[in-house]
Amino acid sequence: MLTRFIGFTHLISGVTISSLPLIEHSDRSFDIFMLGYSISPISWMLCKDECIISYIVKKFNNPKYLIGSNPFEYMDITELFEFVNAANMLRATYTTIAILQTASLITVQQLTPHVHPALFYLPMTLKLVYSTGLVSKRMFPYFQGITVTSFSLLLYQYFTPFYISNTDF
Protein backbone atom coordinates (compact mmCIF):
# COMPACT_ATOMS: atom_id res chain seq x y z
CA MET A 1 0.00 0.00 0.00
CA LEU A 2 2.82 2.43 0.88
CA THR A 3 4.60 1.57 -2.38
CA ARG A 4 1.49 2.48 -4.39
CA PHE A 5 1.02 5.74 -2.48
CA ILE A 6 4.64 6.72 -3.10
CA GLY A 7 4.33 5.64 -6.75
CA PHE A 8 1.18 7.72 -7.23
CA THR A 9 2.83 10.74 -5.57
CA HIS A 10 6.01 10.18 -7.64
CA LEU A 11 4.02 10.03 -10.89
CA ILE A 12 1.74 13.00 -10.16
CA SER A 13 4.61 15.20 -8.94
CA GLY A 14 6.65 14.37 -12.06
CA VAL A 15 3.83 15.31 -14.41
CA THR A 16 2.86 18.39 -12.38
CA ILE A 17 6.37 19.84 -12.07
CA SER A 18 7.07 19.06 -15.74
CA SER A 19 3.97 20.95 -16.91
CA LEU A 20 3.90 23.79 -14.36
CA PRO A 21 5.28 26.52 -16.69
CA LEU A 22 2.69 25.55 -19.31
CA ILE A 23 -0.14 25.95 -16.79
CA GLU A 24 1.02 29.06 -14.97
CA HIS A 25 3.37 31.76 -16.27
CA SER A 26 4.88 33.00 -13.02
CA ASP A 27 8.34 33.33 -11.57
CA ARG A 28 7.44 30.86 -8.83
CA SER A 29 6.26 28.15 -11.25
CA PHE A 30 9.35 28.72 -13.39
CA ASP A 31 11.59 28.44 -10.31
CA ILE A 32 9.97 25.18 -9.16
CA PHE A 33 10.25 23.74 -12.67
CA MET A 34 13.88 24.78 -13.07
CA LEU A 35 14.85 23.23 -9.74
CA GLY A 36 13.05 19.97 -10.49
CA TYR A 37 14.26 19.83 -14.08
CA SER A 38 17.89 20.48 -13.16
CA ILE A 39 18.21 18.53 -9.93
CA SER A 40 16.60 15.32 -11.21
CA PRO A 41 19.31 14.36 -13.76
CA ILE A 42 22.06 15.32 -11.32
CA SER A 43 20.40 13.09 -8.74
CA TRP A 44 20.08 10.23 -11.26
CA MET A 45 23.75 10.45 -12.13
CA LEU A 46 24.90 10.62 -8.52
CA CYS A 47 22.63 7.68 -7.62
CA LYS A 48 24.04 5.36 -10.31
CA ASP A 49 21.21 5.76 -12.85
CA GLU A 50 18.57 5.39 -10.17
CA CYS A 51 15.75 7.73 -9.26
CA ILE A 52 16.16 8.61 -5.60
CA ILE A 53 12.45 8.06 -4.93
CA SER A 54 12.48 4.60 -6.52
CA TYR A 55 15.65 3.80 -4.58
CA ILE A 56 13.99 4.70 -1.27
CA VAL A 57 11.06 2.38 -2.09
CA LYS A 58 13.44 -0.45 -3.05
CA LYS A 59 15.47 0.06 0.11
CA PHE A 60 12.28 0.08 2.21
CA ASN A 61 11.13 -3.20 0.62
CA ASN A 62 14.62 -4.75 0.73
CA PRO A 63 17.02 -3.31 3.33
CA LYS A 64 19.93 -5.10 1.60
CA TYR A 65 19.30 -3.37 -1.74
CA LEU A 66 22.35 -1.54 -3.10
CA ILE A 67 21.86 1.68 -5.01
CA GLY A 68 22.22 1.19 -8.77
CA SER A 69 21.91 -2.61 -8.70
CA ASN A 70 18.59 -2.59 -10.58
CA PRO A 71 18.02 0.98 -11.78
CA PHE A 72 15.40 0.16 -14.40
CA GLU A 73 12.95 -1.40 -11.94
CA TYR A 74 10.38 1.19 -10.89
CA MET A 75 8.23 -0.87 -8.55
CA ASP A 76 6.65 2.23 -7.04
CA ILE A 77 5.20 3.23 -10.41
CA THR A 78 4.72 -0.16 -12.09
CA GLU A 79 2.50 -1.35 -9.23
CA LEU A 80 0.06 1.38 -10.25
CA PHE A 81 -0.38 -0.31 -13.64
CA GLU A 82 -0.80 -3.91 -12.54
CA PHE A 83 -3.85 -4.48 -14.76
CA VAL A 84 -2.16 -3.30 -17.97
CA ASN A 85 1.27 -3.76 -19.50
CA ALA A 86 3.36 -1.89 -16.92
CA ALA A 87 6.40 -1.57 -19.21
CA ASN A 88 4.34 0.13 -21.93
CA MET A 89 2.64 2.43 -19.43
CA LEU A 90 6.00 3.36 -17.90
CA ARG A 91 7.43 4.13 -21.34
CA ALA A 92 4.35 6.21 -22.24
CA THR A 93 4.56 8.08 -18.93
CA TYR A 94 8.27 8.77 -19.37
CA THR A 95 7.72 9.99 -22.94
CA THR A 96 4.86 12.24 -21.83
CA ILE A 97 7.02 13.75 -19.09
CA ALA A 98 9.91 14.30 -21.54
CA ILE A 99 7.58 16.12 -23.96
CA LEU A 100 6.11 18.25 -21.15
CA GLN A 101 9.60 19.09 -19.86
CA THR A 102 10.81 20.10 -23.32
CA ALA A 103 7.76 22.30 -23.95
CA SER A 104 8.07 23.82 -20.47
CA LEU A 105 11.77 24.48 -20.90
CA ILE A 106 11.12 26.26 -24.20
CA THR A 107 8.39 28.33 -22.49
CA VAL A 108 10.70 29.29 -19.61
CA GLN A 109 13.53 30.11 -22.03
CA GLN A 110 11.31 32.40 -24.09
CA LEU A 111 10.08 34.24 -20.99
CA THR A 112 13.49 34.47 -19.26
CA PRO A 113 15.51 36.94 -21.32
CA HIS A 114 18.40 37.22 -18.85
CA VAL A 115 19.59 33.67 -19.59
CA HIS A 116 21.30 32.93 -22.89
CA PRO A 117 19.32 30.33 -24.92
CA ALA A 118 22.37 28.05 -25.21
CA LEU A 119 22.28 27.57 -21.45
CA PHE A 120 18.80 26.09 -21.82
CA TYR A 121 19.32 23.99 -24.92
CA LEU A 122 22.63 22.36 -24.01
CA PRO A 123 21.26 20.75 -20.81
CA MET A 124 18.02 19.84 -22.60
CA THR A 125 19.95 18.05 -25.35
CA LEU A 126 22.24 16.32 -22.86
CA LYS A 127 19.27 15.15 -20.79
CA LEU A 128 17.53 13.75 -23.87
CA VAL A 129 20.72 11.97 -24.98
CA TYR A 130 21.24 10.59 -21.46
CA SER A 131 17.65 9.40 -21.09
CA THR A 132 17.66 7.60 -24.44
CA GLY A 133 20.75 5.60 -23.47
CA LEU A 134 22.88 6.80 -26.37
CA VAL A 135 25.94 7.30 -24.16
CA SER A 136 28.46 4.45 -24.21
CA LYS A 137 29.76 3.08 -20.90
CA ARG A 138 33.27 4.26 -21.79
CA MET A 139 32.13 7.85 -22.34
CA PHE A 140 29.71 7.89 -19.40
CA PRO A 141 32.03 9.48 -16.76
CA TYR A 142 32.90 12.34 -19.13
CA PHE A 143 29.27 12.74 -20.11
CA GLN A 144 28.29 12.92 -16.42
CA GLY A 145 30.78 15.70 -15.83
CA ILE A 146 29.62 17.72 -18.83
CA THR A 147 25.96 17.23 -17.93
CA VAL A 148 26.35 18.15 -14.26
CA THR A 149 28.41 21.21 -15.25
CA SER A 150 25.85 22.37 -17.85
CA PHE A 151 22.91 21.98 -15.44
CA SER A 152 24.90 23.77 -12.71
CA LEU A 153 25.65 26.66 -15.08
CA LEU A 154 22.00 26.85 -16.07
CA LEU A 155 20.89 26.96 -12.43
CA TYR A 156 23.53 29.53 -11.54
CA GLN A 157 22.63 31.75 -14.49
CA TYR A 158 18.90 31.35 -13.87
CA PHE A 159 18.96 32.10 -10.14
CA THR A 160 21.86 34.53 -9.88
CA PRO A 161 21.01 38.15 -9.10
CA PHE A 162 23.89 39.26 -11.34
CA TYR A 163 22.20 38.70 -14.69
CA ILE A 164 24.34 38.46 -17.79
CA SER A 165 22.68 39.92 -20.82
CA ASN A 166 22.24 37.84 -23.98
CA THR A 167 24.52 40.25 -25.82
CA ASP A 168 27.43 39.36 -23.53
CA PHE A 169 27.75 35.92 -25.10
What is the domain partition of the chain in residue ranges?
2-168
Of 77, 68, 59, 74, whose CA–CA distance to 6 is shortest?
Answer: 77
Statement: residue 163 has pLDDT above 90: no
Q: Which residue has the higher pLDDT, 75 or 163?
A: 75
pLDDT in tens, 28-45: 888 888 888 888 877 777
pLDDT in tens, 102-158: 888 888 888 887 777 887 888 878 777 766 666 656 666 677 777 778 878 788 777
Give the mean model confidence (pLDDT) for residues 8-22: 89
Q: Supply the pTM of this predicted model.
A: 0.74
pLDDT in tens, 66-100: 988 887 777 777 777 777 776 777 778 878 888 88
DSSP characters over the chain? -HHHHHHHHHHHHHHHHHHHHHH--SHHHHHHHHHHHHHHHHHHHHTTS--HHHHHHHHHH-TTPPTTSSTT--HHHHGGGTTS-HHHHHHHHHHHHHHHHHHHHHHHHHT-TTS-HHHHHHHHHHHHHHHHT-S-TTTHHHHHHHHHHHHHHHHHHHH-SSPPPGGG-
Residue 65: its pLDDT value, please? 92
Statement: residue 168 has pLDDT above 60: no
